[in-house]
Structure 1
C-alpha cells in the first residue's frame, strides 16, 4: 500500500509507542453527572486561539462556533485567547480565570487529577461513538487511579523537528533543499547565516519552562535522559554536550543573535519575521506560524533534528482538553459536545473532516500540517484521504522530516515533576547564553538538586 509522507510518519510513531486501541468504559460515581439537563441553556467558556491570532484565523474559529451552535442551540460558546505557560497556568487555574474548557500538556494531567482540579469526564466521554477507539497509551496520560478519563487527547502527538528559514539559507549560500543532518552542520550553517545575513543563525528557547524543554530535546537527540525512574539525571554527558554546543554557537561563533530570552511564542514570532535561521520545536508549529505570525510559506522548511548515539531519540508530546473541576453537570455535558465538535470529530467522520477543511481553506488557514494520530493508524489514513484535496501547506518543504522521522525512536517527556525539571534547567540555559564563563558542570549539579527535590515531592 502506498502511504502519504505524513501517513508514513504516523505509522512509524504509532509503532514506536506500541499504541493500542482499547478504552475500558467506567461509570462515574459522581451523582451530579447524572443530573445534566439536555435542554438546559448553557454558556460555555472555552479556549480559542493564541493571543494575536490573525483575523482570518479568528474568522475560521467564529464560523466553527456558529456551526456548533446551530447543532446545539441551547449552548452558547464563548472563546478566549489562550496560551499555556508553565509560569502562569497554576495561578490562573487556582484563581478561576481560565475558561471551563482548557488545554494542557500530556505531562500535566496526572498532577491536576491528583489535585482534583479537573473534572472526571468518563461518563461524558462514553457517550461518544468513537470512545473505544482512542490509542490507550495516549489516553492513559489523562486517566486517574480509578481508571476514569479526566483529560482527553485533543491534538495529535508531535515530534520535535528542526525548523529552518529557506530564504536565509539561500542568502547565506546554503542549499535550502539540503538542510543540516548533523549538529556540526547545524553549527556551520548557523555561522554562515549569521556572517552573511546579519540574522541569528540558530536560536534557543530559554524561559517559562521552554529552556528546559528544548534542552531535554537536545539531550534526547544525543542519547541522554533527564530522569531514570524517580532519579534526576541532569548531569549526564549528553546534556553537557548540548550546553557546550550552545556555548560554542553563542561565544565562539557569535551566531545566535542578541536575544537570549525567548519563550515559545516569542521564538515563533522572530522566526516568522525572518530574524533567525533555525530552531527546534514540535513539527506541528507551522499552523501557529500561519495563524498568529503570518509566516511566508515559501520561506519555511522542516527537517529532522540530528540524532547521534545508540540511544538517541526524538522528544514527543501532545495536548489534552480538560474541564475545570468547578464545572457543573450541564457544563460538562456541553463541554464534551464541544470537545467532540472542535477537536475530534473531523478524524472520525468524513463530513466533519471536509467541513472543517473547507472552513479553514476559505479563511486561508493551513490544512494538512504534519500530525500524528490520536486514534488508530488506519483511521488516520482514512482521515488523510478525506482532506487530501484541501491540503494547502508546503509538504514538499518538509520531506526531510516526514520521510525520516519513522526511523527514529520517539521518547516521552520526563515522567515525574516534568515542569519543575524544565524550570530547573531554564536558568542553566540562560546562564550559558549570557555568561561567557558559565560553569556547565556546576550549573547542572545545582539544577539536578532542584529537580530531585521536585521529583521527591511529587512522590
Structure 2
C-alpha cells in the first residue's frame, strides 16, 4: 500500500464486515497527475500478510488502469457513527456496508446510484434477485454492488472440545446439545463453553439469530410501508431463558458479558471461548485479523427447531453520492475488478486466489452466493487448486446449510432495534432475577415507537 491517511470511527456493529478507520471521500490528484482513489481495506490491526496480498492486487489493478492511483484505507463498519461520518465526508471513496443498513442509507439519499453502471457491465441479471433487492430503492434503481453474503453458523474451538473430552468431528446438532457441551467445556477447561455478543447492536443481532432458529418472527411487514414489532414472542422468550440458564444455572458463559463483534472474535481466537454464533464468513477475520490457528477452528450449522430458519446477511460495495463523475467511474472500475470479477471471470478468480494464497490469506471460506447458483459453483471449481481453508473442519456447515431455510433480517429500523435488544441480552446475563416477560413487553413498545416515527 502506498499510504493510509486515516480518521478514527468509533464502535463496532453486526454483519461482518464491521467498522473504524477511514480517509477523505473527496478523491484528488496524486503528485504524478493520476486520479487518487481511496478504497476500504481491512480493520485496524489486520496482519501484515493481508496488506501484502492487497498490495499485490493493487499493483495488478494499477497496471491495467495506469491513470488511477489506489490508496488503501483501514476501515471498519460502525453503525452508531456512520451517518455522521458519511455526512462529514470522512469515508473512503469505496467502502462496504451491511445489508441491514442499506435500506435506511438509500432512503436517506446517502448512496450513489449505480443502476446504469451495473447494466453496462452486463451482469445485472446474474445477481440473486433476493440479494439484489437489498440494494434496490423504492424508485427501482440499484445503489450498490452486493459482493458477499453469509448465513450464521455455530463456530467452535476444536482444541477446547478435545480438552473437554468431546469429539470435534461431531459438533452439537441441537440447542440442548450445545448447552451440554458448553457446560462440559466450562467444567473441564475453565473457559467459557459458550458466549454471545451483547453490545454495539450485535447482542440484538445474535438474539435474532437464536430466536429465528426457534421459529420466531420479530417483525411484521404490513405491506404499506409500515411495520409491526413482534419481538415479544415465545421463541424470543425461550432464547433469553436459554441464555439465562447457561449463565446462572450452568455457569458456562465465562465472566464477560459485554462482548461485541470484535471482542468476541478476539476471545474466541485466543482460545477462551468454546462456541459462539456469527456469520459463516468470519473464519477469514479470525485467522487474518485475530491470529487464530486454523487447526483449532470448527464450523457447523446453527441448530433449528419448530420450523425455524437460519438468519443470513451480507454486505455491499458502495460509494457516497458526492463523488464527481471521474471519481465515480474510477470507483466502479475498482469495485468491478476487486470485488465482482473474481465471482464472474475465471482469470480474475484465479489471479485473486493466487494473490491471497501467496500471502497465506484464506481462500475458500464458506459463504452464500450473491450470484446465481450455476455461476457460483463454476467459480468454486476455478479456485479449487488454491483453497487453503480447512474445509474438512467445516463440513457440518457446508453439508447442512442448504437444508436450512434462509431468513432475512427484519427491515424496519434494524440497527436501532438491535440496540434495544442488546439490553435484553445484557439484562439476563447480568441479573439472575431479570423479568424476561416484562423486558420483552417493554422492548416491543419501544421498538414500535421507533417504527412509528
When normalised by structure 1's length, the TM-score is 0.89
- What's the counterpart of residue 215 of structure 1? 207
Residue of structure 2 in register with 1:199 after alignment: 191
Larger RCO, structure (CA 8 Å, separation 6 or more): 1
Counterpart residue number, 1:224: 216
Residue 410 of structure 1 pairs with residue 398 of structure 2 = no
1:334 is aligned to 2:330:
yes
Q: CA deviation at 1:50?
A: 1.6
- State the alpha-carbon separation in 1 of the partners of residues 146 and 109 from structure 2: 19
Find 1:262's aligned residue among 249, 259, 264: 259
In the alignment, does 2:297 pair up with 1:300?
yes
Contact 1:158–1:371, Cα closer than 8 Å, also in 2: yes
Match of 2:310 in 1: 314
Gaps of 5+ in 1: 1-39
Q: Could you say which residue in structure 1 is the equivalent of 2:320?
A: 324
Aligned pairs for 1:232-381 within 5 A: 232-309=229-306, 311-381=307-377
Which residue of 48, 59, 68 corresponds with 1:55?
48
CA distance in 1, matches of 2:125, 2:328: 20
Instruction: Tell me the C-alpha RMSD between the 2 structures.
Output: 1.2
Aligned length: 416
| Matched position secondary structure for 2:389 | coil
| Residue 105 (structure 1) shift | 1.1
Q: Does 1:179 align with 2:158?
A: no
**What secondary structure sits across from 2:81 in the alignment?**
helix
**CA–CA distance in 1 between the matches of 2:164 and 2:392?**
21
Q: Please give the per-residue CA displacement for 1:317-340, whole angstroms capped at 9, x wherever unaligned.
A: 110111001111111101111111
Q: Does 1:431 align with 2:427?
A: yes
The one of 122, 136, 151 aligned to 2:129 = 136
Higher helix share: 1
Distance 1:121 1:42 in 2: 20
The counterpart of 1:188, out of the listed 180, 203, 207, is 180
Q: Distance in 2 between matches of 1:304 and 1:161?
A: 5
Q: Pick the aligned partner of 1:81 from 68, 74, 79.
A: 74
Q: Match of 1:302, SS?
A: strand
In the alignment, is the contact (CA less than 8 A) between 1:124 and 1:332 conserved in 2? no
The structural deviation recorded for 1:48 is 0.6
CA deviation after TM superposition for structure 1 residue 64, in Å: 1.0
TM-score with structure 2 setting the length: 0.90
Q: In 2, Cα distance between the equivalents of 1:115 and 1:307? A: 36
What does residue 33 of structure 1 align with?
none
> Given the alignment of the two structures, is residue 421 of structure 1 paired with residue 417 of structure 2, yes or no?
yes
Q: Rate the CA distance shift 1:73–1:382 in 2: closer, same or farther, 3 A.
A: same
Query: SS of the counterpart of 1:174?
Result: coil
**Contact 1:223–1:238 (Cα < 8 Å) also in 2:** yes
Alignment match, 1:395: 391
Question: Is the Cα–Cα contact under 8 Å of residues 154 and 339 in structure 1 kept in the other structure?
Answer: no
Superposed, 1:7-46 pairs within 5 Å as 41-46=34-39
Aligned counterparts of 2:143 and 2:34: Cα–Cα separation in 1: 24
